[in-house]
Structure formats: C-alpha cells, structure tokens
Chain A
C-alpha cells in the first residue's frame, strides 16, 4: 500500500481498490447463499413431489407392490427401534470413554493413541463400518441380518462422534470446580459423578442427539448388514429382520415408475420431520439444562 504506483492518479487507483473490495463482498455473500439456496430448492422440490402422498394411511400401511397402497409402517418402526437400541449401546460406551480420556487417562503414548484413533475413526467412510458389521456381527457372531446387527454397526459408527462431543463438554467444566471437590475430600469418581457430569450433561446430550440423528439418516451400512426395502411386518425382537426409513426411500427411488418416486419424496418428508424433531429436542434440552445450572 505504501508502494503506490507513481504517475497514476492516486484517486482513481484508490477508487478501483475500493470498488474491487465492494465487488468481493457481494461475491462472498453470493457464495454464502449458494448453500442456503440449494437447501431451499431441495426442500421445495421434495415437498412439491411428495406432500400430497403424506397422510395417515401412508404412515400406517406396510410396503406394497401397488404404489397407492404402500406405506412406511415397517420402516418407521424399524427406524425407531434402531434409534433406541443405538442410543442404548452408544451413549454409555462413548460417555465412559470420554470420561476416561478427560478425567482418568495418564498422559502417555497409549492415551495419545486412543485419542488419535478416535479422530481417525470419525473420518472412516460409513460404508466401511458396514463391511465390519457384515463380517463381525452378521457372520462371525451369528447375529444374522437382524435389527441388533444394524444397531451395533451404527453404534460403533457414531461412537467417535459422541466421544468427541462429550470430551469437549467435559473439558468446558472449569477446573476450580474439580479442585474444590477434591479439597473437600471427594474421590475422583465422586468428582466426576457429582460435579463434572451434571455440568457437562447438556453438551453431552446435545452431541448425542445430533449423532443419533446421523444414525437415523444412514443407509449404506444398513444395506451391508442386510436390511432390505421390502418388509411387511414391524420388528418385535432383537433378532428380527428389519428396514428403516432411508432404506425404504432408497428402494422406492430405485424403481423406475414416477408413482414410487412420489412415495420416496413422501418418505423423505417424514424422515426430515423426524430429524427436525430430534434437533429441536436437542436445542430445548440444552436450553433447559443451561437455565438450571
């Protein structure tokens, strides 16, 4: 800026610089709107294609070869089963791992290895977890193509996500709280159980719900462990075969007829509504806990 070109009118030079700056600001704003506009088009497109097919019959009917009779009963039930089971397995395991890493772990190579490993697991494509689930749960452990195989596969898929969110929440608890509790003679577990966890819980729960909504939207790993698009019963136990909403949607998309594409769009509306409810729950939960603290 100090090396202003000699012999050129300084006023014109500065005007050009500022014009360029203004153009850049507009350009950056437009780029930011690309994502927002894409989201808007996507939502409008899906709503226009599918809204007319969403009614009570659609939610309470099983899959059918006849598009006018087909519904998502089995898929919705399967998704809720998967959601519950995955939460039951992944939540305690991940929170325990996070507590260990933040509150217990010595600073040595093994702790660093676990930490590095969790960061890398978060970047492994979900389909690779599907291969693991197929080999370990479906075949080696003999769990077959069951709902528990699917839930276990998704549990290890979201494990690193919850661990990292929980670690962040635990790290945000001020050290003075821990030191005060230790000063009163509390043991390490008492500090964790009565001081750290209650304070970190809103962050942990928010991270968990967001990770679970990712699990609810997953398709590929469940195809690997043998969930299929056409199931005409709701699961009644851990060993039952199952389908989930994203898979039912995929099944309908893969058919060439337009009627099935409309059903797919209707399924997407229900799936997005479910995910939106979960995200809203995460936000409400976080706000309520924050007030209490």
Chain B
C-alpha cells in the first residue's frame, strides 16, 4: 500500500498539470502500476493452482482405482466379482467374489449404526434441548476427545476389553469377531451423528418451540414432535454420513474382527471387511502386476464407490428435504 499510493497520486497529478511533469512521472507510475497488476495476477494464479490441486487428487484417486481395476476385470468378469460367494484370491482355486467382504463391512456398519444412531440422536436431543450452557460446555469437549482418539486405540480396546466380555457371556465367540469391531466403530461414530444432528436441531427456530409450549406441550413433546421433525433432513444426513464412515473404518476392524473372508450374518464369527482385506494384502510384499495386487484396486474401487454414493446421498437429503426457516 505504502509503495502504490504515492505513485497513484503522482500520476493523477501529472495528468492534470503540465505535460512536462507527466512525461517524467507518468511512465514510472504506469510501470509500477503494471508491476503491481502483474504481481496481483500472479498471486491469483498461484492461489488458483493450489485450489485446483484438490480436483487433481480426485482425478488421481479415480484414475488409479479405475486403471488397475480394468486390468483386474480383464481376468475376472464383473458378474463373478459381484455374485460369487467366495473370496479366495490366494488359494490354488482362486475365487473373486466381493460378497463375503462386502457383507463383512455391512455387518460391522449395521452393528455400529444400531449403537450410534439411537445414542447419537438422543445425545443430540439432550445437548440441544435439555442441557444448560454449562453442562453442554462440559459434555461437548468430551465428545470431541472421543472423536479424536486414533482408530488403532479403538482396535486395542475392542480386542483386549470388549472381546473378553463377549466371550464371557457367549464362550463360542471367536477371538476375532464382527461384534467387537461393530461395538467400537459404533462408539467411534457417536460424535459424528451427535454433533451433526445437534447442529440441525439447533437450527430449528425458537419460535416453533415456543408455539408448541403455548399449546401446552411438554418438553418431550416439543423435542420429539416439533424439533426433530423440523430437523429431519440434517438428522438423516448425519446417519448416512456416520454409516459411510463405519464402512470406511479400517484399523479397528482389522485388529478386532479378523482376516477371514466369511459370508455370514453371525456377528460372533470372524469376518473380513473390504478395508481389512486391503490392509492384509498391502502388509505382505505383493508383486506389482499380479492379479493379487490388482484385487487391491478392485476392492478399493468398490469401497470408494459405496462411500461416495452415501456421501452424495446425504448431501442430497440435506438439500432436498431441508425445511427453510427465516
């Protein structure tokens, strides 16, 4: 600013006074102004490039996943991949059916949702409708800490704390089982569901609550029949996002739920999710170019498509069913 302003006033002065002074000050001022414009445009361009990097990342992800998956699908038909009920890529007689892995992921996600959806929504209702500012100020940071705990820690907790409890009650439970993974993943996504739902509940205007109270409603009736329906799009979006996170969760299920591709609905059995298969393969030194290496990308692509669809769905729900309040 300090450099630019004098030259600006000078050039203005030069234009209005004698032609002689203009010929001295004018070009210099113009040059510095051109210099400044160039600098401004350069900065704008650099910032644009940085913003565009994010699109490159997406192009990279899609390109990488599709590229190697195409090689995979040259060997294995898409129909087999989607319908074969066995996933045994390392056996003498290899089968490449994604169903056992997908069912493992959905078993964990369903169990996690069973915990996180009711607990998360009730937490949101309590924080938004019942808790006073001081209690809320004490509870929210605790939930943030819960959200910030690394997934490997949840895996440890599942394996050394949850599983022994499960085995105490049902001795036939496998050491690695879907239920332990589902329980910790459920705990892990409580903060996601709770905080997004709470945002939606708090966006419902106070006047609607007061109106219901005026009609004689109790606090519970206000919360469940006025506020929750008014915030439904945000609440449903938070459920979908939470489930999407549960499907993408990796370390806790790798540690707690095992590495055995198993088409089952029994949560006490050992299973393998899509994510833990990817970890299992990449831990070994799988040579590049083999079909085993390519399975990594086919499974990764499936995982990416499922989570992307769920994220898009949650954004769509949010936009499509939003109640507009002034």
Question: Which A residues form the contact surface with B (CB < 8 A)?
Answer: 1-2, 17-18, 20-21, 24-25, 27-29, 31-32, 34-36, 38-39, 41-42, 45-46, 49, 92-94, 96-97, 99-101, 104-105, 113-114, 117-121, 123-132, 134-136, 139, 156, 159-160, 163, 184-190, 194, 210, 213-214, 216-220, 223-224, 246, 249-250, 253-254, 261, 264-265, 268, 271-272, 275, 279
**Once the chains are docked, how many angstroms separate the CA of A139 from the CA of B124?**
45
Q: Can you sample 25 A-B contacts with CB below 8 Å?
A: A17-B221, A24-B223, A27-B122, A28-B125, A28-B130, A29-B130, A31-B119, A34-B119, A35-B123, A36-B139, A39-B146, A45-B160, A94-B50, A114-B54, A123-B310, A125-B248, A127-B300, A156-B57, A189-B44, A219-B251, A220-B254, A220-B279, A224-B278, A253-B152, A253-B156
Residues of chain B within 8 A (CB-CB) of A130 are 278, 282
- B24 CB-CB contact with A under 8 Å: no
Residues of chain B within 8 A (CB-CB) of A100 are 44, 47-48, 50-51
A253 touches B61 (CB 8 A): no
8 Å CB contact of B157 from A42, A119, A184, A190: A42
**Once the chains are docked, how many angstroms separate the CA of A246 from the CA of B152?**
6
| Contacts A32-B126, A253-B159; A131 near B250 (Cβ below 8 A) | no
B152 touches A219 (CB 8 A): yes
A97 touches B54 (CB 8 A): yes
**Once the chains are docked, how many angstroms separate the CA of A1 from the CA of B221?**
10
Residues of chain B within 8 A (CB-CB) of A113 are 55
Residues of chain B within 8 A (CB-CB) of A125 are 247-250, 275, 303-304, 307
A123 touches B241 (CB 8 A): yes
**Interface size band for B:** 35 or more
CB contacts under 8 Å to A, within B219-269, are 219-221, 223-224, 241, 244-245, 247-251, 254-255
**Once the chains are docked, how many angstroms separate the CA of A99 from the CA of B49?**
12
| Contacts A2-B215, A32-B127, A96-B51; A249 near B296 (Cβ below 8 A) | no
Residues of chain B within 8 A (CB-CB) of A135 are 64, 68
What's the dominant secondary structure at chain B's contact region? helix
8 Å CB contact of A271 from B142, B153, B279, B296: B153
